[in-house]
Amino acid sequence: MRSLQHFPSSAIQRRLSQFNIHDKLTRPSSCLPLRAQKSGITEGSGKVSDLKISEQEVGMYQNEVVESQGIRIRRRPPTGPPLHYVGPFEFRLQNEGNTPRNILEEIVWHKDKEVAQMKERKPLYTLKKALDNVPPAKDFIGALRSAHQRTGLPGLIAEVKKASPSRGILREDFNPVEIAQAYEKGGAACLSVLTDDKYFKGSYENLQAIREAGVKCPLLLKEFIVEAWQIYYGRSKGADAVLLIASVLPDLDIKYMIKICKILKMATLVEVHDEREMDRVLAIEGVELIGINNRNLETFEVDLGITKKLLEGERGELIRQKDILVVGESGLFTPEDIAFVQEAGVKAVLVGESLIKQSDPGKAISSLFGRDISE
């Protein structure tokens, strides 16, 4: 790889400026990110043209991008050729070896291979055809705001999750449809459905089954997104919203995926964990829903103080100015926990473990909030 010293920052910025995406994706198709060009994604009647930037050129920018955005999670093992393009930048950094440095990186590496295999079985054009028969997406953000206004408490996104890497199996008698129905009856505004199989024992089939069972709550695709293809696939299975993790995705990926979701009428929950990630996400146009994960996905340690810290001062003021709805995630087990994050500025919460482990997940909602929120 040639040194970045030959490419001053201003030159890099000019080169990267080709990839800015405006509200309607109105730039010439040759300026769309590599993922769009490689996948053949089109917008309106426009057709994506041939790549205008080589893989070698992409590699020249990756180190500066990673360093500037503070992204620690490598997209795939650093040695060997990539299986496919996953975005504007290839993450192949030279380091000590091909061993994942934490559980999140391990999950992302596995997901990268998994998605490549799934794309071969279900190319993007087949998903686009399938979308013709999918009912319109439900208003995920509207449902959360409505629940907050109705109850005076944070709107609940209840998570349908069988297992986690840190806790193992959470519920042996796992019936996703019955659990989803109990959540809805108990007052959940929206549902989050884990679709990762290897680490969370979930599936896209669970998502589809819940949607086809007549559950009215909007559904969040809870997946480790590394490729826009996953968004299309989730929408084909009935997802109304998608999770994007800032510690995994560079800014250009997040911008691009938000545009894709807007085209599909889906919401995007952009998840952050620290100040740097929050600042990155607040600078991205079109962000309406931010999730603050109190769990460090690299170590799985939980600290509710993360939410309060990220919503203090200028950041909190900017969030209010932009009317961004903030979701508190992880470590929420009691009414006191809910009150703590609400006082910090949260208007919605995403809760899984403390609900799914109870014999009656619906009644567990009342215990979590300290009262019945179903009416």
Determine the 3-state secondary structure of 263 from DSSP.
helix
Residue whose tokens read 């840190």: 166
Residue 211 lies in a domain: yes
Q: Residue 184: count other Cβ atoms within 10 Å of its Cβ.
A: 20
68 belongs to a structural domain: no
- Residue-by-residue DSSP string for 270-313: EEE-SHHHHHHHHTSTT--EEEEESB-TTT--B-THHHHHHTSH
Output the pLDDT for position 64: 65
Other CB atoms within 10 Å distance of the CB of residue 223:
25
In a domain, 284, yes or no: yes
Q: Are 137 and 266 in contact (CB under 8 A)?
A: yes
Q: Is 172 exposed, middle or buried (0-12, 13-18, 19+ CB in 10 A)?
A: exposed
Query: Would you say residue 150 lies in a domain?
Result: yes
pTM: 0.79
Distance CA 19, CA 23 (A): 13
Predicted confidence at residue 319, as pLDDT, reads 97
Pairwise CA distance, residues 73 & 147, whole Å: 35
- Looking at the domain assignment, is residue 252 inside a domain? yes
Residue 2 placed within a domain: no
Residue at 58 is within a domain: no
Q: What is the pLDDT of residue 21?
A: 37
What tokens does 17 get?
């400026």
**pLDDT score of 35:** 43
pLDDT for the residue numbered 154: 98
Read off the CATH number of the domain in which 361 is found: 3.20.20.70
| Domains of the chain: total | 1
User: From CA 124, how far away is CA 130, in angstroms rounded?
Assistant: 10
| 323 within some domain | yes
Strands 163-164 and 168-169: antiparallel
- Range of the structural domain that residue 215 is part of: 124-369
Q: What is the mean pLDDT of each run of 10 residues along the chain (375 residues)?
A: 39 43 36 40 38 43 66 70 48 58 90 95 93 95 98 98 91 95 97 97 97 97 96 98 95 96 97 96 97 86 94 96 97 96 98 92 94 91
